Structure 1
Amino acid sequence: MNPNVRDQILEHRTTISETWLEEIKSFRSDDSLQNITDTMYENTNREFVDKIVQSIEVVQQESNEELVQFAERLIQLGWPLHYITRGLQKFRTITIDVLSETDDDYCQSKEFFQEIEEWIDNLVNVLVNQYSGSWENTVFLQKMALKELSAPLIPVFDKISVMPLVGTIDTERAKLIMENLLDGVIEHRSQVVLIDITGVPVVDTMVAHHIIQASEAVRLVGAKCILVGIRPEIAQTIVNLGIDLGKFPTQSSLKKGIESALEMTNREIIDIEG
């Protein structure tokens, strides 16, 4: 940054900062910031503007470690990204307005505006990258956790297991379901597997295709498959799409599916009277 611009900003730091702190109060109308206490909001704003001004000294070194650490704290506290971007844009506008009113000729030049633009754009890029990196890491961890929990095969009786499916089934998840299903059948020595689709919001041609593939794979390893949890609207969709599920048994509920599985393994539930 041009030393003259830097000196001007530091000289008018108080005016710029106080004007910015007053202007940024309007951000509180945002729904995502209304739950933050007045004290915390004010203290965060003062720290933010201090970090912005301090960054003048390190822009050329391409190191904004303190500002990055500040952004990391905001991410952990759940502050929205647009607080950062709007705050920096407002700071840029106020800085230009304040310095344009000084007697310094350079502050009236095109180069001056370019200096301010480059400085603030650099800060925006640094902080947006910090936010996006954090989000990508969070999404990745959530995705891995979901994978681990999304398709368990649960033994409920000897030789009978249930796989409850919840949420949307895409190609990647279908592969995971297939792997867990086959591994579980072998591990638990299941003869009958119930695939429960009660928690699957939509069954289209692709989802049905994945389910049919899973049932065929189960049959090839010596077990039988029952599809349970078919709600009326799902049944209607399957019929309208012309999907053939006639190759393996279906039941409307898990209870009925378990009764069928017990029959397949030559067992039944008997009520014992007191």
Structure 2
Amino acid sequence: MNSVIKDMVLEHKEDITDSWLKEISKFRSDDMLQNISDKMYENTNLEFVNILILTVQKTNEELEHDELIQFVEKLIQIGWPLNYITRGLQEFRKACVEIISNREENSHNNLEFFKKIEDWIDDIVNLLVTQYSGSWENTVFLQKMALKELSAPLIPVFENISVMPLIGTIDTERAKLIMENLLEGVIEHRSQVVLIDITGVPVVDTMVAHHIIQASEAVRLVGAKCILVGIRPEIAQTIVNLGIDLGKFPTKSTLKKGIESALELTQREIVELKK
């Protein structure tokens, strides 16, 4: 950073801060910031602008390891939108140019001055957007891995009876994993009846139903029977409205009823012991 520009920014930092805080307060009504308390929003804004002003004294290499990066990582962790970062930086650029132009006579119509300000803020924008994108991609990757780890285990509950609880949204990639786990589990546990529990699936549309039908057909081909359980009223209504045919295999509203049906299919039942 040019030493003259640096001195100008530091000299007028209070005016720049006041101007920026006034403009950034207008973002408070954004939907993605509604759940944040007023006190936290004000404190975060003040911390952000103070850190931005300090960057005028640092090189790009120093920026990559300073508290600005730590600040952005904190925002990512608590779920602040990227839009807050980018709009905040644009307002900060505007505040710097307007305040310094009005206060410094030698800055008027000085293209070099404007270019230095632009370059300084552009470096920060590029750094923070890259940091935000990288952290977001890493978070999404970890969530996908966690989902895979939790996804579709086949659990033996009785001899020859297994349950596969499904939780969350089912996409094509996850449906493939479900199918693999299902077939491997049926063979490994020698299951005669498999209960596919969709209680934890928020939405059953045509694609999800198609995947479930494919899974049940695959189970039938390896010599086992499939029962779909966890049919909530709203799910049943959706299935009917979409014209999805689930008539090829039994359905039950709850896992308890499904287990009772599975026991019947394997010539067993649960009885109470007499005292």
Tell me the TM-score normalised to structure 2 length: 0.81
Specify the alignment match of 2:114 in structure 1: 113
SS of the residue 1:108 aligns to: coil
Over 3 Å counting, the alpha-carbon distance change for 1:195 and 1:120 in structure 2 is same
Counterpart of 1:55 in structure 2 is: 55
Code of the residue aligned with 1:254 in structure 2: it is: L
The secondary structure found in structure 2 opposite 1:162 is: strand
**In structure 1, what is the Cα distance between the partners aligned to 2:158 and 2:38?**
49
> Shift of residue 239 of structure 1?
4.3
- Equivalent pair of 2:216/2:226 in contact (CA under 8 Å): yes
For residues 50-106 of structure 1, the C-alpha deviation after alignment (integer angstroms, 9 at most, x for no partner) is 432332344566844212233223434555544433432332222212211234333
Contact 1:194 1:226 in 2 (8 A): yes
Distance 2:272 2:4 in 1: 91
Give the stretch that moved more between structures: 16-25 or 86-95: 16-25
| CA positional deviation for 1:256 | 2.3
- The equivalences for 1:25-104 within 5 A come to 30-34=33-37, 36=39, 42=43, 45=45, 47-59=47-59, 63-66=63-66, 67-104=68-105
Q: Find the aligned partners of 1:175 and 1:134 in 2 and give their Cα distance.
A: 28
Could you tell me which residue of structure 1 aligns to residue 156 of structure 2? 155
Q: How far apart are the structure 2 equivalents of 1:3 and 1:192?
A: 77
Q: Give the aligned residue type for 1:99.
A: I
Match of 1:193 in 2: 194
Report the aligned-residue RMSD: 3.0
Partner of 2:4: 4
SS at match of 1:101: helix
Distance 1:5 1:129 in 2: 26
**Rounded Cα–Cα distance in structure 2 between residues aligned with 1:191 and 1:157:** 10
The one-letter amino acid of 2:7's match is D
Contact 2:153-2:165 at 8 Å conserved across structures: yes
Deviation sequence 1:161-208 (CA, Å, 0-9, x none): 111223332211111111111122122221110112233333333222
Report Cα offsets for 1:202-252 as digits up to 9, x if no partner.
333322221121112212222221122334444444445443333333333
Q: Write out aligned runs for 1:135-150 (5 A).
A: 135-150=136-151
Task: Give the letter for the 2:173 counterpart.
Answer: E
Q: Report if the CA contact (8 A) 2:72-2:132 is conserved.
A: yes
Q: 1:216 to 1:78 in 2, by over 3 A?
A: closer
Residue in 2 that maps onto 1:215: 216
Deviation at 1:150, TM superposition (A): 2.9
Query: Between Structure 1 and Structure 2, how many residues are aligned?
Result: 271
Identify if the C-alpha distance between structure 1 residues 110 and 271 changes in structure 2 by more than 3 Å, giving closer, same or farther.
same
Identical-residue share of aligned pairs (%): 68
Task: Summarize deviations over 1:3-43 as a string: whole Å, max 9, x none.
Answer: 433332233345434554576566667534416559xx54x
Distance 1:250 1:23, change over 3 A: closer
Do the aligned residues in 1 keep the contact of 2:205 with 2:238 (CA within 8 Å)? yes
User: Quick check: 2:101–2:107 contact (8 Å CA) kept in 1?
Assistant: no
- Evaluate the alpha carbon distance shift between residue 260 and residue 89 of structure 1 in structure 2; reply closer, same or farther with a 3 A threshold: same
Kept in 1, the 8 Å contact 2:228–2:250? The answer is yes
Does the CA-based 8 Å contact 2:60-2:123 persist in structure 1?
Answer: no
Structure 2's unaligned 5+ residue stretches are none
The whole-number CA distance in structure 2 between the counterparts of 1:28 and 1:250 is: 49
Q: Which residue type is aligned with residue 202 of structure 1? A: V
Unpaired runs of at least 5, structure 1? none
2:256 is aligned with 1:255:
yes
- Provide the C-alpha distance between the structure 2 equivalents of 1:265 and 1:50, rounded to a whole number of angstroms: 71
1:13–1:53 contact (8 Å) kept in structure 2: yes
